[in-house]
């Protein structure tokens, strides 16, 4: 295959991809499809992922000049000088209004993303890229409150920097060694789902806002809750072996006893340990979850040049 044939094939594939991507109205679906297709394109043509993304930006910019604007420009060019000035001023007014409209539309779109994430997220078919999609949206600063991640495979989910996950649903999800330090998980749900146990084994939840969170039946083995706010958190039948609660705030004896037998093998501050009637000396070793640190930048961060 000649170099020209390869170029033609690449251009045809780019055109096909970009035409499809530009028809996706939901910005989250579009971003996900863009990530997926850029990766596939790189595997087939060895074209850098960042180049694919940059070319799509150029394609969108080109499409942002509507046909009606071009027709107005051609019409103005045919007018006499005086009429051209008058029409030109009107044209400027039209463009100014159009720009304002686009800005307002962008603001409205952002509001939809932030306030109606539940509806948007439920329509995003991310499959095995669920973790990458969540990490990408968090990196962009999106508010992920009401996120639906039921039964999702999120092992080693990496959300550094106070993720906004209020009222999220992680029922039955696998969050093994997830990094959620400092996250706002107010009233989120980690209870089991349809027989699937929510797995937070060795997860780092240090300094997180866990007020009103439901951990019913969850596997919290080796998880780190140091400095977390656990006011009214529900630990009914949760598995607490080697779970590190030292330094946690607003954790009461009655909450701990909800876990029944396994609570005796967790790590507590001395006053709570005594209140629970645990006479064994506390371990000085940190739970595995407290050792989980944020990973380096994700592959999509390199793709987008962030």
pLDDT (average), residues 44-57: 77
Q: What is the DSSP string of the chain?
A: --HHHHHHHHHHHHHHHHHHHHT--SHHHHHHHHHHHHHHHHHHH---HHHHHHHHHHHHHHHTS-HHHHHHHHHHHHS-HHHHHHHHHHHHHHHHHHHHHHHHHHHHHHHHHHH-HHHHHHT---GGGHHHHHHHHHHTT---TT-B-TT-B-TT-B-TTT-B-TT-B-TT-B-TT-B-TT-B-TT-B---BTTBPPB-TT-B-TT-B-TT-B-TT-B-TT-B-TT-B-TT-B-TT-B-TT-B-TT-BS--HHHHHTTGGGGGGSB--HHHHHHTT--SPPP-SPPHHHH----S--HHHHHHT-
Q: How confident is the model at residue 98 (pLDDT cuts 50, 70, 90)?
A: low
Angstrom distance (rounded) from CA 51 to CA 63: 18
Q: Is the pLDDT of residue 54 over 80?
A: no
Is residue 110 pLDDT above 80, yes or no? no
Residue 83 pLDDT greater than 80, yes or no? no
Position 122 confidence tier, pLDDT thresholds 50, 70, 90: very low
**Most confident segment among 7-11, 55-59, 138-142, 206-210:** 206-210
Average pLDDT of the residues in 91-110: 52
- pLDDT of 71 reads 53
**Where is pLDDT greater, at 88 or 170?**
170
What are the domain boundaries of the chain?
3-63, 67-115, 123-306
Which are the contacts of 181, defined by CB distance < 8 A and separation ≥ 6? 160, 204, 205, 206, 207, 208, 294
The chain-wide mean pLDDT, for the chain, equals 78
List Cβ neighbours of 246 (8 Å cut-off, separation of 6 or more).
226, 267, 268, 269, 282
Could you give the count of Cα atoms lying within 13 Å of 277 in the half-sphere of its Cβ?
A: 3
Instruction: Tell me the CB-side half-sphere exposure of residue 93, using CA atoms within 13 A.
Output: 6
Percent of the chain with pLDDT over 70: 71
In angstroms, the Cα distances linking 80 to 52, 84, 86, 93 are 44, 6, 10, 20
> Which pLDDT score, from 0 to 100, does residue 99 have?
53
CATH 1.20.120 fits 123-306, yes or no: no
Q: What is the pLDDT of residue 176?
A: 96
Distance CA 92, CA 64 (A): 16
Question: For residues 50 and 222, what is the distance between their CA atoms, to the nearest angstrom?
Answer: 39
pLDDT score for 273: 93
pLDDT of residue 103: 53
- What is the pLDDT at residue 78? 54
Q: What is the pLDDT of residues 218-273, one digit of tens each?
A: 999 999 999 999 999 999 999 999 999 999 999 999 999 999 878 999 999 999 99
pLDDT in tens, 279-303: 877 678 899 999 999 986 554 454 4
Q: pLDDT digit string (tens) for 17-37?
A: 888 888 888 777 888 888 888
- Say what the pLDDT of residue 144 is: 87
Q: Note the pLDDT of residue 7.
A: 67
């Amino acid at each position: 295959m000649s170099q020209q044939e390869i170029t033609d094939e690449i251009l045809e594939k780019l055109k096909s991809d970009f035409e499809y991507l530009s028809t996706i109205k939901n910005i989250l679906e579009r971003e996900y499809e863009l990530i997926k297709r850029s990766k596939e394109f790189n595997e087939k043509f060895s074209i850098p992922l960042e180049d694919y993304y940059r070319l799509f930006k150029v394609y969108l910019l080109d499409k942002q000049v509507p046909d009606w604007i071009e027709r107005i420009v051609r019409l103005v060019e045919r007018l006499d000088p005086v009429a051209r000035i008058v029409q030109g001023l009107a044209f400027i007014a039209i463009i100014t209004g159009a720009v304002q409209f686009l800005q307002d539309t962008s603001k409205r779109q952002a509001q939809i993303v932030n306030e109606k994430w539940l509806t948007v997220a439920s329509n995003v078919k991310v499959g095995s890229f669920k973790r990458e999609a969540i990490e990408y949206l968090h990196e962009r600063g999106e508010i992920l409150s009401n996120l639906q991640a039921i039964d999702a495979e999120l092992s080693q989910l990496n959300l550094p920097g106070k993720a906004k996950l209020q009222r999220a649903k992680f029922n039955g999800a696998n969050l093994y060694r997830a990094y959620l330090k400092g996250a706002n998980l107010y009233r989120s749900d980690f209870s089991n789902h349809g027989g699937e146990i929510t797995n937070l084994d060795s997860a780092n939840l240090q300094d997180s806002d866990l007020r009103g969170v439901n951990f019913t039946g969850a596997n919290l083995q080796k998880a780190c809750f140091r400095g977390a706010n656990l006011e009214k958190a529900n630990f009914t039948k949760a598995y607490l072996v080697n779970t590190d609660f030292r330094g946690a705030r607003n954790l009461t004896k009655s909450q701990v006893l909800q876990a029944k037998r396994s609570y005796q093998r967790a790590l507590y501050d001395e006053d709570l340990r005594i209140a629970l009637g645990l006479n064994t000396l506390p371990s000085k070793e940190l739970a595995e979850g407290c050792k989980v640190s944020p990973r380096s930048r994700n592959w999509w961060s390199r793709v987008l040049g962030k």
